[in-house]
Chains A and B, each alone.
Chain A
Amino acid sequence: MNFELSDEQKDIQKAAAEFAQGEFDSDLALELDQAGQFPETIWKKACGLGFIGLHYPEEFGGQGLGLLENVLVIEAFCRVDSGIGSSLSTVDLGSEVILKFGSHEQKKRLLIPLTKGEKRLSIAFAETEDGKDFTSISTFAEMREGEFIIQGKKRFVLNGPLANAFIMLCRELKEGWITLVVEREKDGLEVLPIEKMGLKMIPFADLNLNGVRVSQTNRVGSDGDGMMHVNYCHQALGVRSAAQALGVAQGAYDRAIQYAKQREQFGKKLSQFQVIQHKLADMAANIEVCRLLTYKCATEYDQGRSDLRSLSIAQLEVGRRLIGVVDEALQIFGGYGYIAEQTIEHYFRDAWAIAVELGTEEDLKDSIADRVLGSEAIRK
């Protein structure tokens, strides 16, 4: 057991915090949130400094670090701004599939541009509101004259309108589940943006695929691997969402502490009221739990021993604590917390968007129960 970050990890944490404090202007954050615009300039700068994809091997543009280091950067970014931080944290969704299962050529072609700020990648797995429901997937890829022809639709693709390519789950008649890299500019691919309540800088999109042609070189892995890719990807994304949650909770708490020390009512600072002190104490305790669980899962991932039980527990606990912390922070701000000029207002909306990403209480408990009871006890 070692609960201390290494010096290198602390340096990364510090560098990410300094970058975010220097670049994530709070007025700009409000503006981008309201307009639903991606922070293009900040993203390019973050890439220039090596923050995006630092967990990729050096030959593919990264620094050969792990998911834990990625988590430290995401946490530091989301702490300074939930919207900008989350935007920079989700420009390479699905990169883990390429890293783990892609060919050398695919890694070079797809990962390097992500680290340079030239391309954005997203995942297109689900076809309903439930990101993990694959029972009704109707997107088919048919091999014809050496190419895959894709027909179907995908729903709620995060970052959909901004991504240059999608890691897409399809069904192939003979081979079963396969994953294909589908580039944005393909004929027959229609991207329909969806406006959402939180994380407005990175909207959803529905994708319609009507005879989209994809070359065989864009096929990741081999026959029938698709579902394994999806599951592997969700492990990394679960940890990354937890890191967003951790940063957002920490950022809301920072602001609440600062406000409580400065705001006076009844001739006292808010921080002098026991009820407010206890709210802040509760928040600190919740954040501590979030941090330990998130770092633990990142470490397990890096050591190649990810475990769905551990991850589901982390997602469940981090999700509800995130909401608890941000909600209390808003309450401490009182009327100001409800006003859009105050950062905490979009922290609230963004926190709920991240909570949805982490998964519902019911699904996560199903997943934990599956593992603690064993499927035999569950399905008799």
Chain B
Amino acid sequence: MFFELDEERRNFQKRVRAIYEKEVSPLVDEYERKETFPIQLYPVLGAKRLLCFRCPKEYDGPELDKISECISNEEIHRICAGIGVSFMVHGGLATDPILRFGSEELKQRYLKPAARGEKIGAFALTEPNAGSDATGIRTAAVKQGEGYRINGSKTFITNGGICDFVTVAAYTDPTKRGIGINLFVVNKEDPGFSVMKKLRKLGQHSADTAELAFDDCYVPQERMLGGKEGGGLEQLEETLKSGRITYGARSTGMAQATFEAILAYVQKSQRRGEPVKRSQAIRFVLAEMAMSIEAMRYMTYRGAWLFDQGIASMKDASIVKLFTTESIQRIVQKAFTIQKNLGLMMENPAQRFLRDARGLKIPEGTSEIHHMVIARDLGL
């Protein structure tokens, strides 16, 4: 047992925090307000090798471990969840399957520019009628000559409107529910690919979220991951586990930002002629927040460590995601209400934290799905 980050990772943490504070913090207010993503950050962070953390050096990645990926995600989400989610998806769901199952040519073609921040990736599984139940997707990839024609629509796609390529799940054999799915890499220039609309959201305003359409979109055989038909969902298993553990880092970073802000408020504010910090009720609330964040952080890093050892199970990943995304809700809610009318003001980040955190309980498995996964793993 060893509960400290080693010196190398501590230095990494310091380095990424400084970079995010310098490069990302000044953009938050403007891009949250505009509800657009600051794409100029991609080449900036790419040049510093802060995208696609687990991507090997031979494909221009930093070749770090899951713990480092979590450190970085915690730090960027401490600054902004809307901006953070773009990089999380880019370095995770969008590129991870290519890293695992892509041919050498695909890795050269997609991973290298992705790691350098020259190309932005997205990942498209969810459809208007298939969210929690991924096996219910209807997008079909029909064999034609030396490739496939893809038809269908995808929704709630992070980076959908700004991506250069998207890793898409489609049925190559719709008669085999859940099994007959494959992953394809589609370029934004491919005829038949289009961004139907940008979706406005409750929170994470600076993230780009879109609905995508594939209309007879032709994709050559070599852009199908794995090279043989079927097994696409199984290919996603490690990627999804990894993503769910990253949610722990997202939640911890956002909770940390919320906590720092409310602690500062409570420290300095007076109410009815008394310092707010003298209220025993409020002291207890802050104590509870500190406790929750501690639990969230350790749970996340344990999950990341298990993943690095190659022994993280789906249940481990679900436990991290469920616990952290639920725990943060009370933190953001209390931080918001303690400030009363001040909390409601658009210029106060407390309301952004509340809106942003609410979005954590839905993607990459809703809280209900993770309960189901955990219960199944218990042998029930």
A residues adjacent to B (C-beta < 8 A): 128-131, 133, 135-136, 155-156, 194-198, 204, 264-267, 273, 275-276, 323, 327, 330-331, 334-335, 337-341, 345, 348-349, 352-353, 355-356, 360-362, 365-366
Judge whether A197 and B132 touch: CB under 8 Å. Answer: no
Do the beta carbons of B344 and A331 come within 8 Å of each other?
Answer: no
Task: State how many angstroms separate the Cβ of B359 from the closest Cβ of chain A.
Answer: 5
Shortest beta-carbon contacts, A-B, top 8: A340-B200, A129-B342, A197-B351, A156-B341, A195-B346, A265-B133, A362-B281, A129-B341
Shortest distance between the CB of B272 and any CB in chain A (Å):
5
Task: Point out the residues of chain A lying under 8 angstroms from B165, CB to CB.
Answer: none
Q: Are B345 and A196 in contact (CB under 8 A)?
A: yes
What residues of chain B have their CB less than 8 Å away from a CB belonging to chain A? 126, 129-133, 136, 155-156, 199-203, 271-273, 279, 281-282, 285, 329, 333, 336-347, 351, 354-355, 358-359, 361-363, 366-368, 371
- The answer on a CB contact under 8 Å between B129 and A338 is no
Task: Select the residue from A130, A156, A198 with max chain B CB neighbours within 10 A.
Answer: A130
> Could you write out 6 A-B pairs with CB less than 8 Å apart?
A131-B340, A196-B351, A265-B131, A265-B133, A349-B355, A362-B279
| B-chain residues with CB within 8 Å of residue A135 when the two chains form the complex | 272-273
Minimum distance in angstroms from A200 CB to a CB of chain B: 9
Please determine whether B202 and A331 come into contact, CB atoms closer than 8 angstroms.
no
Give A195 to B354 CA distance when docked, in angstroms.
Answer: 16
Q: Across the interface, do A339 and B199 meet the contact criterion of CB distance under 8 Å?
A: yes
Q: B121 CB to closest chain A CB, in angstroms? A: 20
Query: In whole angstroms, how far apart are the Cα atoms of A175 and B200 in the complex?
Result: 53
Q: By CB atoms of chain B within 10 A, which of A197, A273, A275 has the most?
A: A197
Contacts of B361 in A (CB 8 A): 331
| Complex contact A334–B341 (CB within 8 A) | no
Q: Which residues of A contact B363 (CB under 8 A)?
A: 335
A residues in contact with B133, CB < 8 Å: 265-267
Instruction: Decide: B351 and A355 in contact? CB cutoff 8 A.
Output: no
Residues of B contacting A323 in the complex (Cβ-Cβ under 8 angstroms): 333
Are A335 and B336 in contact, with the CB atoms below 8 A?
no
Distance A365 CA – B130 CA, assembled complex (angstroms): 44
Given A130-B272, A195-B346, A356-B341, A337 contacting B136 (CB threshold 8 A): no
For B156, the chain A residues whose CB sits under 8 A away are 335, 338-339
Q: Which residues of A contact B362 (CB under 8 A)?
A: 331, 334-335, 337-338
Asked whether, in the complex, the Cβ of B345 is within 8 Å of the Cβ of A194, the reply is yes
Chain B residues positioned under 8 Å from A130 (CB to CB): 271-272, 340-341
Docked Cα-Cα span, A353 to B201, in Å, equals 18
Least Cβ–Cβ distance between A345 and chain B, in angstroms: 5
A355 to B368 CA separation, bound complex (whole angstroms): 26
Q: Decide: B340 and A356 in contact? CB cutoff 8 A.
A: yes
**A331 and B281 contact, CB distance less than 8 A:** no
Which residue from chain A places its CB closest to the CB of B347 in the assembled complex?
A195
> Which B-chain residue is minimally distant from A275 (CB atoms)?
B368
A302 to chain B, nearest CB (A): 29
A362 B346 Cβ-Cβ under 8 A: no
For A331, give its contact among B200, B347, B367 (CB under 8 Å): B367
Query: Which A residue sits closest to B279, measured CB to CB?
Result: A362
Q: Which residue of A lies closest to B209 (CB)?
A: A339
